[in-house]
Protein backbone atom coordinates (compact mmCIF):
# COMPACT_ATOMS: atom_id res chain seq x y z
CA UNK A 1 0.00 0.00 0.00
CA UNK A 2 2.82 2.45 0.91
CA UNK A 3 4.73 1.68 -2.32
CA UNK A 4 1.62 2.30 -4.43
CA UNK A 5 0.95 5.56 -2.55
CA UNK A 6 4.53 6.81 -3.03
CA UNK A 7 4.44 5.89 -6.75
CA UNK A 8 1.26 7.96 -7.16
CA UNK A 9 2.90 10.93 -5.43
CA UNK A 10 6.02 10.62 -7.60
CA UNK A 11 3.88 10.41 -10.74
CA UNK A 12 1.96 13.56 -9.75
CA UNK A 13 5.18 15.45 -8.98
CA UNK A 14 6.67 14.50 -12.36
CA UNK A 15 3.44 15.48 -14.14
CA UNK A 16 3.40 18.80 -12.23
CA UNK A 17 6.99 19.58 -13.25
CA UNK A 18 6.15 18.85 -16.89
CA UNK A 19 3.13 21.20 -16.70
CA UNK A 20 5.23 23.97 -15.14
CA UNK A 21 7.92 23.59 -17.81
CA UNK A 22 5.28 23.60 -20.57
CA UNK A 23 3.61 26.73 -19.12
CA UNK A 24 6.95 28.54 -18.83
CA UNK A 25 7.84 27.64 -22.41
CA UNK A 26 4.44 28.89 -23.66
CA UNK A 27 4.85 32.13 -21.69
CA UNK A 28 8.33 32.85 -23.04
CA UNK A 29 7.29 31.90 -26.60
CA UNK A 30 4.53 34.51 -26.58
CA UNK A 31 6.72 37.18 -24.96
CA UNK A 32 9.52 36.64 -27.51
CA UNK A 33 7.15 36.59 -30.48
CA UNK A 34 5.10 39.64 -29.50
CA UNK A 35 5.46 42.97 -31.30
CA UNK A 36 4.36 46.53 -30.55
CA UNK A 37 1.88 47.89 -33.11
CA UNK A 38 -0.03 51.13 -33.46
CA UNK A 39 -3.80 50.58 -33.49
CA UNK A 40 -6.48 52.66 -35.18
CA UNK A 41 -8.97 51.67 -32.47
CA UNK A 42 -9.48 49.42 -29.48
CA UNK A 43 -12.42 47.89 -27.64
CA UNK A 44 -12.93 50.70 -25.13
CA UNK A 45 -15.31 48.61 -23.03
CA UNK A 46 -12.40 46.28 -22.15
CA UNK A 47 -10.47 49.23 -20.70
CA UNK A 48 -10.70 48.85 -16.91
CA UNK A 49 -9.25 52.34 -16.29
CA UNK A 50 -11.01 54.75 -18.66
CA UNK A 51 -13.77 52.96 -20.64
CA UNK A 52 -15.64 56.27 -21.03
CA UNK A 53 -13.01 57.60 -23.48
CA UNK A 54 -14.01 56.72 -27.04
CA UNK A 55 -11.69 55.89 -29.93
CA UNK A 56 -12.01 59.40 -31.36
CA UNK A 57 -10.55 60.83 -28.13
CA UNK A 58 -7.81 58.19 -28.11
CA UNK A 59 -6.65 58.93 -31.66
CA UNK A 60 -7.11 62.68 -32.15
CA UNK A 61 -4.71 65.57 -31.47
CA UNK A 62 -1.56 63.48 -31.48
CA UNK A 63 -2.95 60.78 -29.19
CA UNK A 64 -2.22 57.15 -30.07
CA UNK A 65 -3.18 53.60 -29.16
CA UNK A 66 -0.52 50.87 -29.07
CA UNK A 67 -1.00 47.16 -28.65
CA UNK A 68 1.16 44.10 -28.11
CA UNK A 69 0.33 41.70 -30.91
CA UNK A 70 1.07 37.99 -30.93
CA UNK A 71 -0.27 35.55 -33.55
CA UNK A 72 -2.66 38.20 -34.98
CA UNK A 73 -4.20 38.82 -31.56
CA UNK A 74 -3.84 41.90 -29.34
CA UNK A 75 -2.86 40.88 -25.81
CA UNK A 76 -2.24 44.27 -24.17
CA UNK A 77 -3.19 47.88 -24.93
CA UNK A 78 -1.72 51.23 -23.86
CA UNK A 79 -3.07 54.66 -24.81
CA UNK A 80 -0.94 57.82 -24.97
CA UNK A 81 -1.24 61.55 -25.29
CA UNK A 82 1.79 63.57 -26.30
CA UNK A 83 2.16 66.80 -24.33
CA UNK A 84 4.67 69.38 -23.14
CA UNK A 85 3.31 69.43 -19.57
CA UNK A 86 2.27 66.79 -17.04
CA UNK A 87 -1.53 66.66 -16.61
CA UNK A 88 -3.30 66.02 -13.31
CA UNK A 89 -6.71 65.20 -14.84
CA UNK A 90 -8.11 63.78 -18.07
CA UNK A 91 -9.40 67.28 -18.85
CA UNK A 92 -5.85 68.68 -18.62
CA UNK A 93 -4.60 65.71 -20.68
CA UNK A 94 -7.03 66.72 -23.43
CA UNK A 95 -6.03 70.40 -23.27
CA UNK A 96 -2.28 69.75 -23.09
CA UNK A 97 -2.28 67.26 -25.97
CA UNK A 98 -4.35 69.63 -28.16
CA UNK A 99 -1.90 72.42 -27.36
CA UNK A 100 1.16 70.27 -28.17
CA UNK A 101 -0.51 69.10 -31.38
CA UNK A 102 -1.23 72.67 -32.53
CA UNK A 103 2.30 73.80 -31.60
CA UNK A 104 3.78 70.97 -33.67
CA UNK A 105 1.72 71.95 -36.72
CA UNK A 106 3.66 75.21 -36.97
CA UNK A 107 7.04 73.65 -36.19
CA UNK A 108 8.50 70.26 -36.93
CA UNK A 109 5.45 67.94 -36.81
CA UNK A 110 6.79 66.27 -33.62
CA UNK A 111 3.91 66.34 -31.14
CA UNK A 112 4.99 66.99 -27.56
CA UNK A 113 8.09 66.06 -25.60
CA UNK A 114 6.31 63.94 -22.97
CA UNK A 115 4.48 60.68 -23.65
CA UNK A 116 1.60 60.43 -21.16
CA UNK A 117 0.31 56.88 -20.73
CA UNK A 118 -3.24 57.28 -19.45
CA UNK A 119 -4.51 53.71 -19.62
CA UNK A 120 -3.09 50.21 -19.92
CA UNK A 121 -4.65 46.76 -19.77
CA UNK A 122 -3.75 43.22 -20.59
CA UNK A 123 -5.68 40.17 -21.74
CA UNK A 124 -2.78 37.80 -21.12
CA UNK A 125 -0.49 37.27 -18.15
CA UNK A 126 2.66 39.35 -18.52
CA UNK A 127 1.12 41.60 -21.18
CA UNK A 128 1.05 44.76 -19.05
CA UNK A 129 4.70 44.50 -18.14
CA UNK A 130 5.63 43.63 -21.74
CA UNK A 131 3.81 46.61 -23.27
CA UNK A 132 5.48 48.99 -20.78
CA UNK A 133 8.87 47.55 -21.77
CA UNK A 134 8.16 47.78 -25.52
CA UNK A 135 6.78 51.32 -25.33
CA UNK A 136 9.77 52.35 -23.23
CA UNK A 137 12.09 51.08 -26.01
CA UNK A 138 10.08 52.93 -28.66
CA UNK A 139 10.20 56.22 -26.73
CA UNK A 140 13.90 55.81 -26.07
CA UNK A 141 14.50 55.60 -29.84
CA UNK A 142 12.35 58.68 -30.49
CA UNK A 143 14.06 61.94 -31.44
CA UNK A 144 11.57 64.24 -29.75
CA UNK A 145 10.22 62.38 -26.71
CA UNK A 146 12.28 62.71 -23.54
CA UNK A 147 9.87 61.59 -20.81
CA UNK A 148 7.41 58.73 -20.19
CA UNK A 149 4.89 59.70 -17.52
CA UNK A 150 1.59 58.12 -16.50
CA UNK A 151 -1.77 59.60 -15.60
CA UNK A 152 -2.88 56.76 -13.37
CA UNK A 153 -5.97 56.30 -11.22
CA UNK A 154 -5.61 56.68 -7.45
CA UNK A 155 -5.51 52.94 -6.77
CA UNK A 156 -3.02 50.81 -4.91
CA UNK A 157 -3.01 48.39 -7.86
CA UNK A 158 -1.84 51.14 -10.27
CA UNK A 159 0.74 52.34 -7.76
CA UNK A 160 2.14 48.84 -7.20
CA UNK A 161 2.19 48.07 -10.95
CA UNK A 162 4.25 51.14 -11.85
CA UNK A 163 6.62 50.96 -8.88
CA UNK A 164 7.21 47.25 -9.54
CA UNK A 165 8.01 48.03 -13.19
CA UNK A 166 10.65 50.64 -12.35
CA UNK A 167 8.73 53.94 -12.33
CA UNK A 168 9.14 56.72 -9.76
CA UNK A 169 6.11 58.36 -8.19
CA UNK A 170 6.33 62.07 -9.06
CA UNK A 171 3.03 63.43 -7.73
CA UNK A 172 -0.29 62.46 -6.20
CA UNK A 173 -3.22 64.61 -7.32
CA UNK A 174 -6.86 64.84 -6.17
CA UNK A 175 -8.09 62.23 -8.67
CA UNK A 176 -4.94 60.75 -10.21
CA UNK A 177 -1.28 59.98 -9.61
CA UNK A 178 1.71 60.42 -11.90
CA UNK A 179 4.65 58.04 -12.26
CA UNK A 180 7.70 58.51 -14.44
CA UNK A 181 9.82 55.93 -16.21
CA UNK A 182 13.30 57.40 -16.60
CA UNK A 183 14.47 57.74 -20.21
CA UNK A 184 18.25 57.70 -20.55
CA UNK A 185 19.36 58.25 -24.13
What does the pLDDT profile of the chain (185 residues) look like in tens digits? 555 556 666 655 555 555 554 444 444 454 567 889 999 999 999 999 999 999 999 999 989 999 999 888 999 999 999 999 999 999 999 999 999 998 877 666 666 789 999 999 998 888 888 888 888 888 888 877 888 999 999 999 999 989 998 899 999 999 999 999 988 75
Could you tell me where the beta strands, DSSP code E, fall in 84-175? 114-122, 147-150, 152-153, 168-172
How many whole angstroms separate alpha carbon 118 and alpha carbon 114? 12
Task: Please name the residues in contact with 182: beta carbons below 8 A apart, sequence gap of 6 or more.
Answer: 166, 168
In 3D space, the residue among 135, 130, 142 whose CA is nearest the CA of residue 185 turns out to be 142
Whether 117 and 79 have beta carbons less than 8 Å apart is answered as: yes
In this predicted structure, what is the pLDDT of residue 103?
85
- Please list the residues that pair with 68 across neighbouring strands: 36, 76
Task: Please name the residues in contact with 46: beta carbons below 8 A apart, sequence gap of 6 or more.
Answer: 77, 121, 123
3-state secondary structure of 141: helix
Question: pLDDT per residue over 121-169, tens digit each?
Answer: 998 888 888 888 888 888 888 877 888 999 999 999 999 989 998 899 9
Which own/partner pairs from 43-52 qualify as long-range (CB within 8 Å, at least 24 positions apart)? 46/77, 46/121, 46/123, 47/77, 47/79, 47/119, 47/121, 48/121, 49/118, 49/119, 49/120, 49/121, 49/152, 49/153, 49/158, 50/79, 50/90, 50/118, 50/119
In 3D space, the residue among 138, 84, 134 whose CA is nearest the CA of residue 111 turns out to be 84
Whether 58 and 119 have beta carbons less than 8 Å apart is answered as: no
In this predicted structure, what is the pLDDT of residue 133?
86
CA atoms within 13 A on the CB side of 23: 9
Amino acid sequence: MVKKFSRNIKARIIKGKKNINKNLKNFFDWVKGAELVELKECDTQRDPVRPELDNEFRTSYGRKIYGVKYKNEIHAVMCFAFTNQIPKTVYELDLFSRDAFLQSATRDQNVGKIAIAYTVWSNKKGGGKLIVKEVFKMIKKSNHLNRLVTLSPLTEMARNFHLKNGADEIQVNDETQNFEYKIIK
